[in-house]
Amino acid sequence: MDFLRDPFGFVIQEYTGWLGGLGLPAVWVDIIAKLTGALVLATGAMLFVVFLIWYERKLIGRIQDRFGPNRVGPWGIFQPVADMLKIFTKEYITPIGADKFAYNLAPILAVAAVLLLWSVLPLSVTVVGTDLNVGLLFLVAVGGLGEMSYILAGWGSNNKYALLGAFRLVAQLISYEVPLVLSALVPVMLAGTLSVNGIVQAQESVWFIVAAPAAALIFFIASIAEIGRSPFDLIEAESELVAGYNIEYSGLKFGMFFVAEFLHAFTVSMIFATVFLGGWQGPGAAEIPVLGFVYLMLKTFVVYFVTILFRGTLPRFRIDQMMNLNWKVLTPLSLALIMAMAIVGGLTRELPVFWQVIAFLLVNLLLLGATDQLMRLSQSRKTKSNLPMQPLRKVLTTSTKHGAGE
Amino acid sequence: MIPLAWYLIFSAALFCIGLFGALARKNAVAILMGVELMLNAVNVNLIAFWHYYAQVRSAPYVHGLAFTTMVFVVAAAEVAVGLALVISAYRRRQTPVVDELTLLKG
Amino acid sequence: MNGLQVVFLLAALVSLFSAAMVVSARRMMHAALWLVLTLMGVAVIFVTLQSSFFAVVQVLVYVGAIAILIIFSVMLTRRVMEDHGDQILPGWRAAGLVAGLLFAIIVGFLALWQGFTTMLVELPADADNLLDLGQALVSPQGYALPFELASVLLVAALIGAITIAVDRKEDQHG
């Protein structure tokens, strides 16, 4: 019965109990148990990517009115396995003049940076890698390691296109880190803690996406930019950049970047689900921990589905549009949001939770509406100033000249 | 547990390596890296002494942490302005080497 | 010797070695990468001091922002792919002497202090310090004024850096 209610916690307990029975000191039991946990979690996450790739390709196929992969296995579910086998057998090529150390370190670092994110995410009530008291900051800080891996890849390849791609990507990542951190501060303020587990527990009565939809929206957009997915896939702009920082990679090293990208996409969906959608919270999740895991996976897949919808439907941003969106819209909005939420939170401290949430919601919607109006205003002004009568007259005169010439 | 002396010796060593880098390197960016090492050594020292005083007084004690925050801010500001200067100088003189930046020498 | 001491010694040795590589590496890019390793080692040292907040901030600010900024400027100020020639000034022996002397003086004076050999024991709780720090930074009796000044400094540095580094048209001829 206990196994059915909480299989993961049960296995962990049995395992640590067995380790303790071997007569090892408590410190070693702890270290070995944590190492095993990390190994299992990392392997599980990497194997999970196989399924993710199939899911995403199938969905994108449906969006574009294709079948998607459908040859290997039922519904093509073994297509990624076949791709993996192909990638394993490919030749490793190291370009001439490459910095071998940086070149080989980059793919490892890329995967490690994503896997590190899983160490602080609570998967259910009982299963959490480490309940760090600065967990949310840790999630952001680890992103810096990913940036480092892209720089290493771009620089180590000794290829100017790879370097340009890395520059572009890192500039984008650093810029979008600002609204990401600022919007993540709103749930931190609401929960009163930086610990990821604490944030999940604070969402017992109401999810933070209800209390702070504007923060959730900013966080979602910024995290899509962080994973470099469409519409922020500027490094993938084939016509300009020859596919970015990883062009010199082949075989498994390329595969590791590929895995890192897919796993990162899924992991940020999971972070969003944890921070804004209540994580493992749900009816009965506290009593039956395995239900919490199911809830978390369901929520994550909903978020992941939306990111794939974005990828399948939106065209790519131009680089100036991307930077404009970040610095002129998202960053000021998140700054204003933090101030507004702090003020409203201070004013409504004595009210019951229901009215407090209503007040938060109203402030969020007000700010979103104001941003929308401001964007419309600047858009209409831009179109007015960009299309004065002068060019129109020029067009008319040239066309008449043209006509006269005939 | 760890003696305070280890932290202090580590921080002194890191500071002196950074000082050597700032004094002996040719490249302006490398000099900035040396300065960053020195600032990090200062941070280690501040946090080690914060731990020491928090332990000795057994009361809430945050001054070391507050100073560390300031050092972080100053480090970020310093590196931003410093690197902007290096890039600006490089654009005019095509060199990051400090010895060759002799504009005022005439 | 317990586990924490082993962790400290490993982190300290790695940071000191990579710091030495930072100041002696011939290629600037390698120096920058060694700098990243040093900063990570210092982050581990912060963890052993029970200051996990500053460990994470160290990774966030130094590795995520400052090191990447340094790597960017190394790339932007490179004349060729390789950094040719000597990267150390001819007078490096004097600099080494100064640094070594300073180290000896610091450690000598510290050794005279009676608290030098104090064992650092585990503090009660990590989370409370963070709360105290946050309140101290914004309370008028604490560090509100320095904190505001630091914010102003950051904004000024941001604007100043952009003003200095911006690529004006007349600069290209001047």
Consecutive 10-residue runs of chain A (406 residues): their mean pLDDT? 74 82 80 87 88 90 88 85 88 86 90 90 81 86 87 86 85 90 92 89 89 94 88 74 79 88 92 91 82 91 92 86 90 94 90 89 93 89 63 47 42
Residue A405: per-residue pLDDT: 40
Q: Does the CB of C56 have a partner CB in chain A at under 8 Å? A: yes
Instruction: Verify whether the Cβ–Cβ distance C164 to B81 is below 8 Å.
Output: yes
Tokens 């899924």 appear where? A266
Residue A22 tokens read as: 């071997």
- Number of residues written out for chain C: 174
ipTM for the whole complex: 0.89
Report whether the peptide linkage leading into residue A231 is cis, meaning its omega lies within 30 degrees of zero: yes
List the one residue out of A174, A148, A150, A180 whose CA is nearest residue A271.
A180
Q: CA-to-CA distance for A260 and A376, rounded, in angstroms?
A: 38
Mean pLDDT of C128-141: 84
Could you give the CA distance from residue A269 to residue A263 in angstroms, rounded to a whole number?
A: 10
Determine the pLDDT at residue C169. Answer: 62
Q: Which CATH number, 1.10.10.10, 1.10.150.240, 1.20.120.1200, 1.10.3720.10, labels domain C1-83?
A: 1.20.120.1200
Q: Are residues A143 and A113 in contact, defined by beta-carbon separation less than 8 angstroms? A: yes
Per the CB < 8 A criterion, the answer to whether A99 and A155 are in contact is yes
- Residue ranges per structural domain of chain C: 1-83, 126-174
> Of all helices (H) and strands (E), which one includes residue A309?
helix A289-313
Residue with tokens 């300009």: A240
Contact C67 A141 (CB under 8 A): no
Q: What count of other Cβ atoms lies within 10 Å of the Cβ of residue A49?
A: 21
Q: How far is B27 from chain C (nearest CA, A)?
A: 7
Count the alpha carbons within 13 Å of A36 in the hemisphere toward its beta carbon: 12
- Subunit contact C56:A170, Cβ cutoff 8 A: no
The pTM (predicted TM-score) of the whole model is 0.88
CATH number belonging to domain B4-97: 1.10.287.3510
What would the mean pLDDT of C134-151 be, rounded to a whole number? 90
Chains touching chain C through at least 3 C-beta pairs below 8 angstroms are A, B
d(CA A265, CA A71): 26
Question: Considering only CA atoms, which of A297, A282, A275 is closest in space to residue A44?
Answer: A297
Residue A274 tokens read as: 């944890």
Residue listed under structure tokens 């005022």 = B104
Chain A (53-112) residues lying within 8 Å, Cβ to Cβ, of chain C = 97, 99, 102
Distances (CA, A) of A45 to A111, A118, A395, C65: 11, 9, 59, 28
Residues in chain B with CB shorter than 8 Å from the CB of C83 are 27
Substitution target from C14, C49, C112 for chain B, most B beta carbons within 10 A: C49
Query: Are the CB atoms for B8 and C110 separated by under 8 Å?
Result: yes
Say how far apart CA A336 and CA A361 lie, in whole Å.
14
Per-residue pLDDT at C79:
60
